[in-house]
Structure 1
Amino acid sequence: MTHYTRRGVAAMLALGGLSACANGVGSSGPARIDARVDATLNQLYTQYPGTQALAQKSAGILVMPLVTEAGLGVGGAYGRGALRVGGATVDYYSVTKASGGLQIGAQQYAHVLFFMTEEALANFRRSPGWAAGADVEYALPSRGETLTADTTTTTSPVIAVIFGQSGLRVGATLEGSKYTRIIP
């Protein structure tokens, strides 16, 4: 049985509160989300020019400009973003994630999902709450690495790019993340 101290619970609440404030929860209307999506795509295309080819070949792109993740034994993540088809926003989504285990810290990152087939995009849009699973291939660019759209990656139905990590937490994955359509 796990026993929580007042100090531990207070720290968890503080991390949760800070992550919510830093993520702009409650102040993320459509115009603000779209502006963040534009800035995130500009940063992605500037840092990793090969992703422009992915975007051109994709049926749609889900952009989560800022995901805040925090954990102290029990962890969670939250972010808001937009789904773009043909360069236009068609829907807004939130991403949530829960985790448990040996963990401590907080981090923020951006991620972009490239739906490489019409079927993958349709499955995502029809789903009441889509979870990142085995059909997602991760392209994790590190500093100085080139990310390109080659024949291996473009045969995957969904390609996830995680970038811009900052904070004091190890790793950033989308496994166990749930995407839900929202009305901002």
Structure 2
Amino acid sequence: MNVLRKNFLGFVLALASAIVMVGANSAMAASAGDLDRNAKQALDTLYKAHPVAETLSQSAKGILVFPNIVKAGLVFGGSYGEGVLLKGSEVADYYNSITGSWGLQAGAQSYAYAVFLMTDEAVSYLEKTKGWEIGVGPTVVLVDEGLAKNLSTSSLKNDAYAFIFSQQGLMAGLSIEGTKISRINR
């Protein structure tokens, strides 16, 4: 019975790794020009769905945009995507987002996310660290439908606001996960 359990766990780990690697390879294939264009299109999509995001962009010191994150998991999971840091309308740098997770989870999905960095300190932290772990460093608030309706430039008090959008696929479960954002060379 113990051998069967180990074999099943090995199979699940191998399957989740294979799914994530296939998704990661397609996400990594974009050139700098493609990534720039995809990030700006993703922001346009976000602004249409959440006009408050466009309002935030006018005060943001930087916007970190990941136009395509691919996530998959079966007990063990992960996600990967590449994005850009925009300062004004110009691309300042390139980053990747890597997440690992463990728990009761199954499925695959893709999504986009944007983090509006509202202070010079938040931008500086991102640029100076060798990898920003979400939950460590500047305070990031995940903007959901309820918060988006009540958010205004006069109520901004946090370092960063994140929007998740353009979700496709199905991922279900309860898991523990961590995300790390790191600078990459393009």
The CA distance in 1 between the partners of 2:7 and 2:182, in whole Å, is 31
* 1:3 has 2:9 as partner: no
Could you tell me which runs of 5 or more consecutive residues in structure 1 were left unpaired when the two chains were aligned.
none
Structure number with higher helix proportion: 2
* 1:125 has 2:127 as partner: yes
Once the two structures are TM-superposed, the CA of residue 165 in structure 1 deviates from its matched residue by 1.2
Once the two structures are TM-superposed, the CA of residue 97 in structure 1 deviates from its matched residue by 0.6
Partner of 2:68: 66
SS of match in other structure, 1:3:
helix
% identity of equivalent residues = 33
CA RMSD of aligned residues (A): 2.5
Which one of 98, 109, 112 corresponds to residue 110 of structure 1? Answer: 112
The CA distance in 2 between the partners of 1:67 and 1:59, in whole Å, is 23
Gap change, CA 1:99 and 1:8, over 3 Å in 2: closer
Partner of 1:166: 168
Which one of 16, 20, 24 corresponds to residue 16 of structure 1? Answer: 20
Structure 1 consecutive aligned stretches of length 4 or more whose deviation exceeds 4 Å = 145-148
Could you tell me which runs of 5 or more consecutive residues in structure 2 were left unpaired when the two chains were aligned.
none
Gap change, CA 1:44 and 1:90, over 3 Å in 2: same
When the two structures are aligned, how many residues end up with a matched partner? 178
TM superposition score normalised by structure 2? 0.85
Aligned amino acid, residue 97 of structure 2:
V
Deviations 1:81-108 (A, max 9, x none): 0000121000000000101111111111
Partner of 2:89: 87
SS of match in other structure, 2:172:
coil
TM superposition score normalised by structure 1? 0.86
Structure number with higher strand proportion: 2
Contact kept? 2:106, 2:171, Cα under 8 Å: yes
Once the two structures are TM-superposed, the CA of residue 147 in structure 1 deviates from its matched residue by 7.1
Deviations 1:102-124 (A, max 9, x none): 11111111100000111111111
The CA distance in 1 between the partners of 2:25 and 2:145, in whole Å, is 28
Once the two structures are TM-superposed, the CA of residue 53 in structure 1 deviates from its matched residue by 0.9
The CA distance in 1 between the partners of 2:168 and 2:115, in whole Å, is 19
Structure whose alpha-carbon radius of gyration is higher: 2
Q: Structure 1 residues 2-11 or 59-68, which shifts more?
A: 2-11
The CA distance in 2 between the partners of 1:9 and 1:177, in whole Å, is 19
* 1:149 has 2:159 as partner: no
SS of match in other structure, 2:93:
strand
